[in-house]
Amino acid sequence: MLAKRIIPCLDVKDGQTVKGTNFVNLRHAGDPVELGKAYSEQGADELVFLDITASFEGRKTFTEMVTRVAATVNIPFTVGGGIGELKDVERLLNAGADKVSVNSAALRHPELIDEITNHFGSQVCVAAIDARMDEQGHWTCYLNGGRVPTERSLFEWAHEAQERGAGEILFTSMNHDGVKTGFANEALRRLSDTLSIPIIASGGAGAKEHFRDTFLEGHSDAALAASVFHFGEIRIPELKQYLQSEGINVRL
C-alpha cells in the first residue's frame, strides 16, 4: 500500500538554513545539505528546500547547494522559491533536483505550469499555493509568500493547476501556518476529494496528532512541516511509529 509521506521543509538563505535548529550530534545544523542528510537518515520521505534569497548571488549559491544535496541525499527532493521561468527549472533539475515547486510566478503566468510539464513531465512540477480563508469561509490565493492577495480562489486555481499538468499540489494555509493547532483539514479534504493528483498539507503542524488528523480527516497524501522538526519538538522516527500505531501506512 502506498505510504503517507512526511516531508521536512528547509528555508535556505545565502546557502544556510534560516530557522534555528535543535539537532544534537550535528556539527553544522546551518548547512542545508547536512541537515537534509540527517532528516533522510531519520526516515523523512522527501525533502523540500526553499530559496528565500532574492539576489542573483544567492540564486547561484542555492544552485550549488542543490548540486551538493543531489550528490549526498538518497531520497527525492523538491526545490522552490523564486522560480520565474523555464530556464530556472532547467537549471535546478540539471543541478539534480527531482521536482520544482512554483508559486507566485505560476499564479501570474499560469502557462508556466504547461511549459514545465511539457518539457520535463508532470512529476517534476509541484504547484505550491498559499491561501487564506476570510470570515465568510472563502479561500483566496496570495502572492509573494502571502503578502499580496489575488482574485483567485484556492479551489479554482488548484483545479486549473492540475488541468495544466501539475503533478502535485502543496497547499499552505496562511490561517494555520505558525499557529501549531493542526492543518486546514476541511480545505485539504475538499482538494483531495475533488482533484486527481496528490495533495501535500502544509501549515499548522504542532503535534503528532495533527499529522494523523490530516491523513485521516484531511485525506492528505503527504504532510510538510518545518519548525516542529527543526526545533526537535517532533522527531520523525517517533512520529512515524505513532502514525503506524494509529493505523496509517507509513514507511518505517
Partner 1 sequence: MKVAIIKYNAGNIYSVVHALKRLGVDPILTDDAAEIHAADKVLFPGQGEASQAMSYLRNHHLDEVIRSLQQPVLGICIGQQLMCRHSEEGDTDCLGIFPIDVKRFRPTRHEDKVPHMGWNSIDVNCKKDEETCDVLFNGLQNNSFVYFVHSFYVPECAFTTALTGYIQPFSAALHKDNFYATQFHPEKSGAVGEQILKNFLAL
Determine if 110 is a binding residue for partner 1 (CB under 8 A): no
From the list 10-18, 115-123, 207-215, 234-242, the region that binds partner 1 by CB under 8 A is: 115-123
Determine if 196 is a binding residue for partner 1 (CB under 8 A): yes
184 secondary structure, DSSP code: -
What is the SS3 assignment for 13? strand
Report the site for partner 1 in 13-32 (rule: CB under 8 A): none
Note if 11 is an active site residue: yes
Determine if 42 is a binding residue for partner 1 (CB under 8 A): no
Grid coordinates of 4: 503517507
Nearer to partner 1, 2 or 24 (CB): 2
Residue-level length of the chain: 252
Determine if 100 is a binding residue for partner 1 (CB under 8 A): no
Q: What is the CA radius of gyration of the chain?
A: 17
75 secondary structure, DSSP code: S
Total binding residues for partner 1 by CB under 8 A? 31
Shortest approach of partner 1 to residue 3 CB, angstroms?
Answer: 4
CA atoms of 228 and 57, how far apart (whole Å): 30
Of 143, 98, 104, 145, nearest to 122 (Cα)? 98
Contacting residue, 165, 198, 235, 242, with partner 1 by CB under 8 A: 198
Task: Write down the catalytic residue from 45, 51, 88, 130.
Answer: 130
180 secondary structure, DSSP code: -
Phi/psi for 93 (5° steps) reads -70, -40
Shortest approach of partner 1 to residue 197 CB, angstroms?
Answer: 6
Determine if 35 is a binding residue for partner 1 (CB under 8 A): no
Determine if 122 is a binding residue for partner 1 (CB under 8 A): yes
Report the site for partner 1 in 152-191 (rule: CB under 8 A): 167-168
Beta-bridge partner residues of 80: 50, 101
Note if 130 is an active site residue: yes
Grid coordinates of 175: 490561517
Nearest-10 crossing angle of helices 154-163, 185-194: 30
How many CB atoms are closer than 10 A to CB 138?
A: 12
Contacting residue, 76, 110, 145, 146, with partner 1 by CB under 8 A: 76
**Residues within the interface to partner 1 (CB under 8 A):** 1-3, 5, 40, 45, 70-72, 74-76, 93-94, 96, 98, 120-123, 167-168, 193, 196-198, 219, 221-222, 251-252
